[in-house]
Amino acid sequence: MRRRDASWATGRILIAATDRAFRRDLRELLERLGLSAVAADDAARALRAADRWPPDLLIVDAREGPEAVAALQQALGERPALAETPVLAVVPSGRADAASQSVDAGATDVVPVPFQPTVLERRVRSLIESSRDRLELGRCRERLESIQRIARIATWSADAEGSEFQGAREFRPLLGLDPAPGPVSRKLLLSRVHLEDRQTLETRLQKSAEAGEGFGLDTRIQPGDGLERILHWQGEPLGEDGRITGVLQDITERKRAEEQIRLLSHRDGLTGLTNRRAFMQRLAGAVDMARRHQRSLALLVANLDNFKRVNDTHGHVFGDRVLQGVAERFDRCLRQTDLVVHNDDSEVVECNDVSRLGGDEFTLLLTEIARPQDAARVAGRLIESLREPFQLDGHEVIIGASMGITVFPDDGDDVDALLRNADAAMCQAKSEGRNNYQFFTAAMKTDSTRRFELEEKLCRAFENHELQVYYQPQVDMETGCITGVEALLRWSDPEFGAISPAEFIPIAEGAGLIKPIGEWVLRTACWQAKAWREEGVPPLRLAVNISPHHFEDGHLVEALNQVLWDTGLDAGQVELEITENVLMGDEDEVISILQQLKDTGVSISLDDFGTGYSSLSYLKRFPVDAVKIDRSFVRDIPLDPDDEAITAAIISMAKALRLRVVAEGVETEQQREFLRARGCDEIQGYIFSPPVAPIVVAEVARHRPPR
């Protein structure tokens, strides 16, 4: 209330009265109420004053009759700016007829004389306030209309049947109709809407009226100016009469902007090629389709060779231009008609656009391929397209690309696997000397995936008895006779082929499988040795590898005893191979386990000697019987004098401690001769035999010395 009080009190009042005393008295009275008033002696003059001083209220002296009101109204009629100004007629007290005549003549309200200040104040106040409210409302409406015009939005309402539409000023122009006021019939309205959208709009309007549901809908409108526009309708049934009220907005620009943004967000800013996001979507869609229709598709990932060097030498701006150049060549190459690849049955392979995954990595999707060679042909063309050097800023740059290809579904049945494997194939291409392409093969699987898959497969292979034990002979250096064999695990997987124990033993260790597998090897090898004996094969020492995990397990001694008991094999025939890192544990405990093992009658050898923390003190402190010189030292004899020196030192050290020395990985006569000359006791290596199946061992052992 207070706010309104303050506001009305600043109101301006114009008095029109011929009676001078009346004018003066009224003005004084109003001023006492805190209002400003200007007085004129007739209507015409009063309004001339109003032009300079627009009033909030006109007070006219109608004591003599309603003519004064009528005269004022007539003068007001010529001044549209004042048309809304309220008129208060002063009438004689107790004359109801005079009051109603004044109202009929156009007065907004009447006030009796003699004045009662409170009555006068209340009338003046209420008229000024409502006049101001009306003015404000008018201004709001105008503002709203201009906002609606600018935003190309209009409010509308339709009767419950949807047969007639009333709209704000913009409504008709939005529909491409002339702006004349008046309702729009349903027929006319629908005739403006695009033929294909008409039915939907009609249905939505109808449903909205029937079910009382709001709706939102985009429709195109028939181009009047040749440019199709998109209008968004939002409607809601408001009120009990079922009228639908809503807004209509021209969203053409927004839609175009959205489309533009969508396009830009799918493009790589530097090269204009499809970007990673769009490519990933496309790939996902293509994989889905291929899966559904049981088709094949190929994914090609290309990485530029030595691009980093170009960047480092010439700077990033130059590097960017090289990338643009490559993109252009790839793109052109794919657009050339002769690149459309035909399969033998003349089916066309669809080459999609090249995309840039980021950095110097490009990718290409080939759908509908019948054979992987189709992808190879495309890769070949892309490589060929880079043959010509780039001429940039007076520099000649030659850039190649290494490419990896994966084929769905053989190499991966989802987006991730395909991309990962294409990457692995691309890396292989790099290591094959760059500027070439490679197809993905199972052997290229990235470490983590491969490891994960191998773990699962190994578990199953072990349960299904698919592991095998091979035996590699160890030969006496002087006599050339077999003295023993080392049991070595073998595993061949249908998908991955032969997998080296160097790869799967660590996996078994990580997966907690090494103990059961290790025990199985021990048991299998011991049964084998027993079987050889029964077949009449001369006794051979049987070396079995024991993983550090198995060694620390605590049940090894027990398991060993059990196996020896079950097989009845002479414990003296068995040698356990442990590695140096086993000895790194708690010394007393390690010695205690070793002693318990030795108490069963088996011997202990230190495998891969020289690769760990090889120290003479180990050999002295721990109860071991033999040392196996690691293959890595033997391999480079006689090329590497250091390896020769180490090997010679290990031999003499072991000899001094009266340990048997076995050299692993002996492949050449020179190596054997070197080892023999240094006093090595035994050799194990391809020079004599690789690890072989048990039946071969029996053959060889029966006919010893073999050479």
Separation CA 150–CA 140 (nearest Å): 15
Separation CA 482–CA 476 (nearest Å): 6
Token pair listed for 407: 């084929």
Separation CA 504–CA 545 (nearest Å): 14
Separation CA 582–CA 586 (nearest Å): 9
Instruction: Please state the closest distance from residue 583 (CB atom) to ligand C2E, in A.
Output: 16
Residue 636, interface with ligand C2E (CB under 6 A)?
Answer: no
Three-state DSSP state, 229? strand
Which among 77-85, 119-127, 231-239, 541-549 is the span making contact with Mg ion, rule CB under 5 A? 541-549
Residue 691, interface with ligand C2E (CB under 6 A)?
Answer: yes
Tokens 């108490």 found at? 599
Contact indicator for 357, 300 with CB cutoff of 8 Å: no
Residue 560, interface with ligand C2E (CB under 6 A)?
Answer: no
Residue 671, interface with ligand C2E (CB under 6 A)?
Answer: no
Q: Which of 472, 528, 573, 605 binds ligand C2E (CB under 6 A)?
A: 472
Q: Which residues pair with 629 in a beta bridge?
A: 609, 663
Contact indicator for 375, 369 with CB cutoff of 8 Å: yes
Contacts of 506 (CB under 8 A, 6+ apart): none
Contact indicator for 57, 13 with CB cutoff of 8 Å: yes
User: Which is closer to Mg ion, CB of 164 or CB of 552?
Assistant: 552
Q: Which of 55, 112, 162, 665 binds ligand C2E (CB under 6 A)?
A: 665
CA 230 remoteness from chain centre: 32
Instruction: Please state the closest distance from residue 546 (CB atom) to ligand C2E, in A.
Output: 6
Residue 694, interface with ligand C2E (CB under 6 A)?
Answer: no
Instruction: Please state the closest distance from residue 629 (CB atom) to Mg ion, in A.
Output: 9
Q: Which of 608, 644, 681, 682 binds Mg ion (CB under 5 A)?
A: 608
Residue 500, interface with ligand C2E (CB under 6 A)?
Answer: yes
Picked from Mg ion, ligand C2E, none, the partner binding residue 472 (CB below 5 to 8 A depending on kind) is: ligand C2E
Q: Which of 607, 643, 644, 681 binds Mg ion (CB under 5 A)?
A: 607
Q: Quick one: CA dihedral 651, 656, 662, 664, positive or negative?
A: negative
Q: Which residues pair with 156 in a beta bridge?
A: 167, 246
User: Which is closer to Mg ion, CB of 268 or CB of 664?
Assistant: 664
Picked from Mg ion, ligand C2E, none, the partner binding residue 180 (CB below 5 to 8 A depending on kind) is: none
Beta strands in 78-117 (DSSP E): 87-92, 109-113
Instruction: Give the x/- contact pattern for ligand C2E in 565-604, rule: CB under 6 A.
Output: ------------x---------------------------
Instruction: Please state the closest distance from residue 488 (CB atom) to Mg ion, in A.
Output: 7
Instruction: Give the x/- contact pattern for Mg ion in 650-689, rule: CB under 5 A.
Output: --------------x-------------------------
Token pair listed for 173: 């122009």
Picked from Mg ion, ligand C2E, none, the partner binding residue 685 (CB below 5 to 8 A depending on kind) is: ligand C2E
| Residues from 548 through 577 that contact Mg ion (CB under 5 A) | 577
Instruction: Please state the closest distance from residue 665 (CB atom) to Mg ion, in A.
Output: 8
Instruction: Give the x/- contact pattern for ligand C2E in 387-406, rule: CB under 6 A.
Output: --------------------
User: Which is closer to ligand C2E, CB of 235 or CB of 518?
Assistant: 518
Instruction: Please state the closest distance from residue 399 (CB atom) to Mg ion, in A.
Output: 45
User: Which is closer to Mg ion, CB of 553 or CB of 630?
Assistant: 630
Token pair listed for 674: 């070197």
Residue 202, interface with ligand C2E (CB under 6 A)?
Answer: no
Q: Which of 271, 428, 483, 547 binds ligand C2E (CB under 6 A)?
A: 547
User: Which is closer to ligand C2E, CB of 49 or CB of 692?
Assistant: 692
Picked from Mg ion, ligand C2E, none, the partner binding residue 518 (CB below 5 to 8 A depending on kind) is: ligand C2E
Instruction: Please state the closest distance from residue 389 (CB atom) to Mg ion, in A.
Output: 51
Total interface residues for ligand C2E by CB under 6 A: 25
Give the Cβ contact number of residue 116 at 10 Å.
Answer: 12
Beta strands in 168-214 (DSSP E): 184-185
Q: CB burial class (10 A; 0-12, 13-18, 19+) of residue 367?
A: buried
Picked from Mg ion, ligand C2E, none, the partner binding residue 102 (CB below 5 to 8 A depending on kind) is: none
Long-range contacts from 334-342, C-beta under 8 angstroms, 24+ separation: 334/364, 334/378, 339/378, 339/381, 341/374, 341/377, 341/378
Picked from ligand C2E, Mg ion, none, the partner binding residue 501 (CB below 5 to 8 A depending on kind) is: ligand C2E
**CA neighbor of 208 nearest in space, from 160, 165, 241, 248:** 160
Picked from ligand C2E, Mg ion, none, the partner binding residue 665 (CB below 5 to 8 A depending on kind) is: ligand C2E
Q: At what angle do helices 587-599 and 556-567 cross, to 10 degrees?
A: 10
User: Which is closer to ligand C2E, CB of 608 or CB of 681?
Assistant: 608
Instruction: Please state the closest distance from residue 518 (CB atom) to ligand C2E, in A.
Output: 6
Q: Which of 246, 412, 501, 694 binds ligand C2E (CB under 6 A)?
A: 501
Token pair listed for 101: 């005549």
DSSP notation for 243-294? -EEEEEEE-HHHHHHHHHHHHHHTB-TTT-SB-HHHHHHHHHHHHHHHHHTT
| Residues from 504 through 523 that contact ligand C2E (CB under 6 A) | 505, 518, 521
| Residues from 604 through 633 that contact ligand C2E (CB under 6 A) | 607-608, 631
Residue 274, interface with Mg ion (CB under 5 A)?
Answer: no
Instruction: Please state the closest distance from residue 582 (CB atom) to ligand C2E, in A.
Output: 11
CA 673 remoteness from chain centre: 61
Q: Which of 6, 21, 502, 639 binds ligand C2E (CB under 6 A)?
A: 502
For residue 237, what is the enclosing H or E element? strand 229-237
Separation CA 64–CA 42 (nearest Å): 13
CA distances from 667 to 297, 334, 474, 632 (A): 46, 52, 13, 12
Amino acid letter for position 685? G
User: Which is closer to Mg ion, CB of 102 or CB of 684?
Assistant: 684
Instruction: Please state the closest distance from residue 487 (CB atom) to ligand C2E, in A.
Output: 6
Residue 368, interface with Mg ion (CB under 5 A)?
Answer: no
Q: What is the DSSP letter of 267?
A: B
Picked from ligand C2E, Mg ion, none, the partner binding residue 521 (CB below 5 to 8 A depending on kind) is: ligand C2E
Q: Which of 85, 428, 474, 545 binds ligand C2E (CB under 6 A)?
A: 545
Sheet holding 341-342, edge to edge: 341-342, 348-358, 361-369, 296-304, 401-408, 437-439
Total interface residues for Mg ion by CB under 5 A: 5
CA distances from 224 to 174, 195, 215, 276 (A): 11, 14, 26, 40
| Residues from 121 through 180 that contact ligand C2E (CB under 6 A) | none
Give the Cβ contact number of residue 98 at 10 Å.
Answer: 21
Contact indicator for 525, 542 with CB cutoff of 8 Å: yes
| Residues from 521 through 540 that contact ligand C2E (CB under 6 A) | 521
Separation CA 287–CA 48 (nearest Å): 83
Q: What is the DSSP letter of 538?
A: P
Q: Which of 488, 602, 629, 697 binds ligand C2E (CB under 6 A)?
A: 488
Separation CA 27–CA 139 (nearest Å): 30
Token pair listed for 243: 């009228």
Contact footprint for ligand C2E (CB under 6 A): 472, 487-489, 500-502, 505, 518, 521, 545-547, 577, 607-608, 631, 664-667, 684-686, 691
Contact footprint for Mg ion (CB under 5 A): 545, 577, 607-608, 664
